[in-house]
Amino acid sequence: MKIQKSSSVDSDVVSNETNCRICNLMIINRDHHCVWLNCCIGASNDHYFLCFMALASEALIVAAVCDMDLITIGMSGAVLYRTSLTVFILSAVLATLSMRFLKKSRSQPSL
């Protein structure tokens, strides 16, 4: 990595660091500033951010499946017991995929 003098900061800066205007911090391999988490996403926390996004997606999928079954129950007037089994299986599969992703991202070296 090339070290260079930063014009905005009086110290040596690694060339892949970026200054965030919102946080006013130097972030290595900065991707973006997340307004929902109120922090910058960079080399030190990108795998946590991706796991957060995977789990948020899982929650939306589970909610959609539950809503579809509740609409079906309301329209037919029948009581269906497959909802809990469907949600359990879907949650187990997505949680397993999320855990595999977390293990894979932690094994990669970060700066």
Residues marked active site are found at: 34
Query: How many whole angstroms separate alpha carbon 89 and alpha carbon 100?
Result: 17
Query: How many whole angstroms separate alpha carbon 5 and alpha carbon 3?
Result: 7
Query: How many whole angstroms separate alpha carbon 48 and alpha carbon 105?
Result: 9
* Phi, psi values for residue 3, rounded to 5°: -95, 135
* Phi, psi values for residue 41, rounded to 5°: -100, 120
